[in-house]
């Protein structure tokens, strides 16, 4: 018999039970949350595109053409001209021969790793990889070898222990720390051992590199160095879904072998059309990435003046480590009382003793919003 009440009570006592807030209206820095107008610093809408009128109009136009649902999986009757056009646009955007759409980033990772690896193969991964990559490795049946966060030398040692087909997988930008993986060194290590490098660039696409083409582009790396690239469309791109980009053989293989592609309904075609519009804005409007960097610099300078040490990050993810989960929750409540939403991230999302406030910035924020956040942060205290 499942005693879920006892489990819930234990989770609450440990400060690990989650709850949902109710938001009204479009995504933006100022939102109505639980009936109050709140200044938010918790969205992955890094470029401020999630409520862009041009994208919304593209969605409306496409809905009149394609309706609101795709009706079936891609391989049955759900792959429309809109989906195909978006895949071609994503291939051009990433500088790769082909791209393949998935419903979510989680499904893209599970499907890709599961298709490439099986028992007798090896998966090498960073200890702080996203949960989807961890689960993908477990479900694949491959031998899993983890290495210390961001340590390319440790990855190289694990690669030397690998057997069978070997896939080295890493986040491009780590979602809870905001730091970048050492992709050049990881690519070199993978090539030295005859392994493939797969990069989950959910938090780098749109934000980093020329034209927002991501963390691989930021480092000047391409298909040769990283044969498998996964990116999401629901963060900086501002819509929904995900993709994997690679060479012709990879994409053709995934179409027939990735279970999370084969056995699920395709995203609505209207979302695909809206995403293609968003992709054009990502490439053309460099000012969004420039503004982000200005806001990041403003926040980091202000936090330093308050003797608040943000974790090292040059991305919109700017974590403030608190340590204890209860203290992190109390800090988040202090901010909430002042009309600011910054989530407290605690175990199991991060390791024990690593609870933090995860501040995320958007190009839609104003400098005055950063000043208001800094004034509120001055009212909390963190361990020195």
Candidates 58, 175, 215, 362; catalytic one: 175
The architecture of the domain spanning 53-284 is: 3-Layer(aba) Sandwich (3.40)
Would you kindly state where each structural domain of the chain is located, as residue ranges?
20-47+286-377, 53-284
Is residue 103 part of the annotated active site? The answer reads no
The yes-or-no answer on residue 175 being catalytic is: yes
Q: Is 260 annotated as a binding-site member?
A: no
Active-site choice (79, 83, 203, 365): 203
| Burial category of 163 from C-beta neighbours within 10 Å (exposed 0-12, middle 13-18, buried 19 and up) | exposed
175 is in an annotated binding site: yes
pLDDT at 380 over 90: no
Is 369 annotated as ligand-binding? no
How are beta strands 196-200 and 122-126 bridged, if at all?
A: unpaired
Q: Is 315 annotated as a binding residue?
A: no
Interval 6-39: pLDDT, tens: 999 888 887 677 788 899 989 999 999 999 999 9
Report the alpha-carbon distance of residue 363 to residue 361 in Å, rounded.
7
Q: Which residues of 194-220 are buried (b: 16+ CB within 10 A; e: fewer)?
A: ebbbbbbbbbbbbbbbeebbbbbbbbe
Q: Is there a binding annotation on residue 106?
A: yes
Instruction: Pull the structure tokens for residue 184.
Output: 């050049």
**Beta carbons within 10 angstroms of residue 175's beta carbon:** 22
Segment 57-86, tens digit of pLDDT = 999 999 999 999 999 999 999 999 999 999
Residue 353 pLDDT > 60: yes
Same fold flag, 20-47+286-377 and 53-284? no
Answer for the pair 196, 124: CB distance below 8 angstroms, yes or no: no
Catalytic residue, chosen from 79, 83, 218, 235, is 235
pTM here?
0.94
CB 113 within 8 A of CB 140: yes
What is the model's pLDDT at position 381? 61
Instruction: Judge whether residue 250 has pLDDT over 80.
Output: yes
- The SS3 assignment for 220 reads coil
Asked if CATH classification 2.60.40.420 holds for the domain at 20-47+286-377, the reply, yes or no, is: no
Q: What is the mean pLDDT of the chain?
A: 95
């Amino acid at each position: 018999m499942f005693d879920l009440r006892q489990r819930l009570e234990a989770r609450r006592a440990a400060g690990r039970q989650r709850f949902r807030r109710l938001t009204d209206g479009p995504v933006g820095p100022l939102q109505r949350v639980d009936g109050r107008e709140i200044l938010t610093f918790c969205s992955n809408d890094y470029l401020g595109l999630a409520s862009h009128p041009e994208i919304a109009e593209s969605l409306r136009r496409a809905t009149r053409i394609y309706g609101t649902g795709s009706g079936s999986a891609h391989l049955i009757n759900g792959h429309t001209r809109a989906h195909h056009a978006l895949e071609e646009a994503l291939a051009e955007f990433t500088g790769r021969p082909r791209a393949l759409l998935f419903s979510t980033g989680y499904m893209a990772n599970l499907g890709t790793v599961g298709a490439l690896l099986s028992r007798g193969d090896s998966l090498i991964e960073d200890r702080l990889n996203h949960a989807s990559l961890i689960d993908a490795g477990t479900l694949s049946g491959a031998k899993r070898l983890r290495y210390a966060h961001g340590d390319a030398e440790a990855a190289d040692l694990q690669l030397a222990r690998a057997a069978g087909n070997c896939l080295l997988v890493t986040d491009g930008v780590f979602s809870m720390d905001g730091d970048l993986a050492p992709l050049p060194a990881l690519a070199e290590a993978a090539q030295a051992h005859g392994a493939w490098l797969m990069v989950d660039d959910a938090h780098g696409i749109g934000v980093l590199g020329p034209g927002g083409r991501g963390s691989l582009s930021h480092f000047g790396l391409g298909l040769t160095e990283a044969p498998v690239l996964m990116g999401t469309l629901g963060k900086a791109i501002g819509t929904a879904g995900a993709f994997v980009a690679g060479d012709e053989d990879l994409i053709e293989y995934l179409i027939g072998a990735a279970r999370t592609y084969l056995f699920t309904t395709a995203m609505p075609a209207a979302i695909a059309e809206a995403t293609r519009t968003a992709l054009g804005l990502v490439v053309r409007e460099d000012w969004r990435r420039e503004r982000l960097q200005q806001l990041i610099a403003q926040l980091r300078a202000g936090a330093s003046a308050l003797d608040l040490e943000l974790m090292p990050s040059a991305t919109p993810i700017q974590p403030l480590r608190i340590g204890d989960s209860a203290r992190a929750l109390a800090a988040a409540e202090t901010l909430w009382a002042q009309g600011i939403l910054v989530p407290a991230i605690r175990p199991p999302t991060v390791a024990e003793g690593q609870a933090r406030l995860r501040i995320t910035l958007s190009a839609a924020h104003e400098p005055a919003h950063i000043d208001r956040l800094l004034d509120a942060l001055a009212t909390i205290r963190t361990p020195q």
